[in-house]
């Protein structure tokens, strides 16, 4: 068995091999690429803790610790309210850091109502449930909103943008 300073489960993994002259060169890893996290969670209020933990861990891993507190609160509030609007349906959560801003998105499959009164009531309930989110985002100097998901998707997209 060949000797190697590393431990490997498979002996073939540590064998010395001649480089393949026809092998396609691996692309270089981009160091300047920012945080990009996406996950799908069940439409359950307990998913808020999972989303908070995932986003916070990712922010720490990418050296974006100053965002940890407001981002954890924002994603927890978005998931909590969204899961109440569409219980039992999956939610899509996204966190991206680009151009010195963190953008959080929670997308759900809450359908657009056909009656204008129902649309107004539903939007008002969602916005009023997010009062704590609105206060934190305002204090941080960011923006937030709720809109219909873009085609081909159906549902509602809630988002937060926090500047550095």
Q: Any idea where the domains of the chain sit in the sequence?
A: 39-163
What span, in angstroms and rounded, lies between the C-alpha atoms of 58 and 77?
18
Q: Do residues 91 and 106 lie in contact, with contact meaning Cβ atoms separated by under 8 Å?
A: yes
Element housing 106 (H / E):
strand 101-108
Confidence grade of residue 18 (pLDDT, cut at 50, 70, 90): low
Confidence grade of residue 17 (pLDDT, cut at 50, 70, 90): low
- At 25-72, the pLDDT tens digits run 555 554 556 899 999 999 998 999 999 999 999 999 999 999 999 999
- At 31-42, the pLDDT tens digits run 556 899 999 999
Nearest to 77 by CA among 22, 21, 134, 37: 134
Task: Read off the pLDDT of each residue in 101-107 and give the average, rounded to a whole number.
Answer: 94
CATH C-level class of 39-163: alpha beta
Rg of the chain over Cα atoms, rounded to whole angstroms, equals 21
């Amino acid at each position: 068995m060949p000797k190697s300073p590393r431990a490997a489960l498979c002996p073939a993994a540590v064998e010395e091999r001649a480089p393949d002259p026809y092998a396609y060169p691996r692309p270089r890893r981009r160091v300047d690429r920012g945080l990009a996290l996406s996950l799908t969670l069940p439409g359950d209020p307990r998913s808020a803790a999972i989303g908070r933990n995932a986003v916070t861990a990712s922010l720490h891993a990418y050296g974006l610790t100053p965002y940890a507190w407001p981002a954890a609160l924002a994603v927890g509030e978005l998931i909590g309210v969204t899961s109440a609007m569409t219980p039992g349906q999956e939610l899509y959560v996204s966190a991206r850091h680009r151009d010195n801003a963190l953008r959080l998105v929670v997308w759900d499959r809450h359908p657009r109502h056909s009656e204008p009164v129902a649309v107004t009531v539903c939007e008002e309930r969602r916005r009023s449930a997010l009062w704590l989110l609105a206060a934190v985002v305002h204090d941080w100097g960011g923006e937030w909103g709720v809109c219909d998901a873009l085609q081909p998707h159906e549902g509602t997209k809630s988002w937060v943008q926090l500047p550095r």
